[in-house]
Amino acid sequence: MNTSNLQASCSGRELLPSTPSHQWTPRRLTRRGVRRAAGVEQLLRRSTTGPQKPLHLKQASVAAAALSTNSVSAFKPEPAEEQQSVQGGGGNNQRSATDKVGVLLLNLGGPDTLDDVQPFLYNLFADPDIIRLPGAIKFLQPLLAYALSTARAPKSAEGYASIGGGSPLRSLTQKQADALTVSLREKGLNANVYVGMRYWHPYTEEALEQIKRDNVGRLVILPLYPQFSISTSGSSLRLLEKILKEDQQLQGLRHTVIPSWYQRKGYVGAMADLICQELTKFPDPQNVELFFSAHGVPKSYVEEAGDPYKEEMEECISLIVAEVKRRGYSNHHTLAYQSRVGPVEWLQPYTEDSIMELGKNGTKSMLAVPVSFVSEHIETLEEIDMEYRELAEESGIEHWGRVPALNTNQLFIDDLADAVLEALPYVGMVAKPSDASLVPQGELEALLQAYDRERRALPSPVCVCVCVCVCVAETWNGRLAMVALFVIVTIELATGQPILRTILELD
Ligand SMILES: C=CC1=C(C)c2cc3[nH]c(cc4nc(cc5[nH]c(cc1n2)c(C)c5CCC(=O)O)C(CCC(=O)O)=C4C)c(C)c3C=C
Ligand SMILES: [Fe+2]
């Protein structure tokens, strides 16, 4: 496919040439294009001034939506090794015709055994996108992560023990990768699919080592989270950015990111299929509450840092509900947020409160629909299937069901394959799909910048609770907090008393 073919197949889009890694300097902008690009800057600048709608990130996903509406037939991949990619004008692109294609699936990871639970939790709490400390005490993060992971490990391990002694995430994600490889091959693309986990094996670093060994030249990066959150896809992309920057060999690797994909027809359709299948198991399918339960994030992520997660989640639910309705079910539905950690406020309503409220108001049948994750994991198998089910029964709900995770659902996997094929022409390029889609798709740094400025304003849940316990002051005194935190952790480590656990209400 040459440039003109590509532009024809992506009608309405202006494609910009590849730029040197991590520099977004669109060179072939039209006058109108320049105005539009300025618009991106304006959006980003606007976003630093306070808690507003995260338009810029919204548009990252609109860009993805625009890509995703491109039918596969518009992009006809050539057979395997003869794949032609776009000659976008950049020097690097000259190599693209026979470059090996890789797909990197990003996911959270989970402990394989009970012994892995504490070190897994350590990795999680050591992530500055999960716990943000003010600059002056950043150096304490490893110590804090150690204290928190040690305090939480027994409770977490109990949960993992109840689902078979470890997380099923590793094997399920590998199965998804295998299924995606097959689906891509059936669609004409011979690609290697890699799994890169954020907090456990196989780590993202391990995946990238393999990518180097395999001499991959074009990489499509696909976080396995349908909706974008700073704490999930954002964290993985930030790590990737760091690795790509530091590794000489990887700097030649051209890539593109699919930031979120909750709006894709295949994903929405597969979710609607599963919901309708489960509804038929109830005595009165039309009178079942559709109870969407999403993993929560601290409220400040959305309201202060501009995380688009809530907005994308709400849009996702409305698309699924509309699809379910098209199939003849007009059931009432609720969206609630689960898996809160620590004492700060998370997105509301909380799942447990909603279940009790619905029960109190006379709901007798409930179908739980997990939506923020596409594999079974501890929060579906333990939290929903055990804890919330029990709570529902205690709240007077007589009929209970749960929609299974998509795992390797064929419609879903084929849709992911289509998403990869549609993204492939954008590898190493910056795409400006339409007036409504201004955020560059091509470079990690450009994508990350879309949230980075606001992320700096992100208050840490831990910072907040330490504030409450130590100084109960209106203003944050960094030095005092640093000393206090250090003292607490030291006393806890010395005495074995769970001071932090008590403060953070981790039980
Ligand atoms: C979209 C999904 C997820 C978001 C958003 C998210 C944010 C988030 N999570 C924590 C803390 C923990 N998460 C834990 C496990 C876990 N989290 C997700 C998904 C999201 N997290 C999954 C799929 C899993 C399970 C992995 C598995 O092994 O099956 C855990 C460990 C388990 C436990 O102890 O409960 C913690 C802790 C925070 C603080 C956060 C946002 C800031
Ligand atoms: Fe989580």
133 within some domain: yes
119 within some domain: yes
342 within some domain: no
> Which amino acid makes up residue 324?
V
The answer to whether the CB of 123 is under 6 A from ligand 1 is no
The whole-number pLDDT of residue 161 equals 98
pLDDT score of 72 more than 60: no
322 within some domain: no
Q: CA-to-CA distance for 411 and 174, rounded, in angstroms?
A: 17
Whether 251 contacts 244, CB under 8 Å: yes
Q: pLDDT tens digits for 268-281? A: 999 999 999 999 99
Q: Which two three-digit tokens encode residue 104?
A: 């990197």
- Whose tokens are 């008590």? That residue is 502
Helix (H, G, I), strand (E, B) or coil at 415: helix
**Could you write out the DSSP letters of every residue in 105-145?**
EEE----SSGGGHHHHHHHHHT-TTTS---GGGGGGHHHHH
148 within some domain: yes
**Ligand 1 atom with the shortest distance to the CA of 309:** 5
Closest CA to 42 of 497, 457, 439, 366: 439
| Most distant CA pair in the chain, distance | 70
Q: In whole angstroms, what separates CA 216 from the centre of its chain?
A: 24
Tell me the pLDDT band of 170, cut-offs 50, 70 and 90: very high
Q: CA-to-CA distance for 328 and 316, rounded, in angstroms?
A: 19
ipTM, interface predicted TM-score of the complex: 0.92
User: Number of structural domains, the chain?
Assistant: 1
CB under 8 Å to 452, separation ≥6 — which residues? none
Q: CA-to-CA distance for 42 and 418, rounded, in angstroms?
A: 33
143 within some domain: yes
> Which residue range forms the structural domain that includes residue 490?
114-166+463-506
pLDDT score of 96 more than 50: yes
Q: CA-to-CA distance for 334 and 327, rounded, in angstroms?
A: 19
Q: Which ligand is nearest to the CA of 301?
A: 1
Lowest mean pLDDT among 180-189, 372-381, 424-433, 475-484: 475-484
The answer to whether the CB of 298 is under 6 A from ligand 1 is yes
Mean pLDDT of 51-68: 35
Closest CA to 262 of 132, 393, 410, 415: 415
487 within some domain: yes
Mean pLDDT of 110-122: 98
The whole-number pLDDT of residue 110 equals 98
The whole-number pLDDT of residue 342 equals 84
Mean pLDDT of 402-421: 97
Q: pLDDT tens digits for 374-397? A: 999 999 999 999 999 999 999 999
Q: What separation in Å is there between the alpha carbon of 341 and the centre of ligand 2? A: 9
**Could you write out the DSSP letters of every residue in 464-498?**
HHHHHHHT--SS--HHHHHHHHHHHHHHHHHH---
> Model pTM?
0.76
> Which amino acid makes up residue 312?
E
Helix (H, G, I), strand (E, B) or coil at 192: strand
Higher pLDDT, 49 or 507: 507
27 within some domain: no
The whole-number pLDDT of residue 77 equals 36
Closest CA to 244 of 22, 439, 25: 22
Radius of gyration of the chain (CA): 23
Q: CA-to-CA distance for 36 and 32, rounded, in angstroms?
A: 6
The whole-number pLDDT of residue 27 equals 26
Q: Give the rounded percent of residues in the chain with a pLDDT score beyond 70.
A: 65
Q: What separation in Å is there between the alpha carbon of 27 and the centre of ligand 1? A: 41
Higher pLDDT, 393 or 495: 393
> Which amino acid makes up residue 141?
Q
Q: What separation in Å is there between the alpha carbon of 205 and the centre of ligand 2? A: 21
pLDDT score of 45 more than 70: no
Residue nearest to atom 27 of ligand 1 (CA): 110
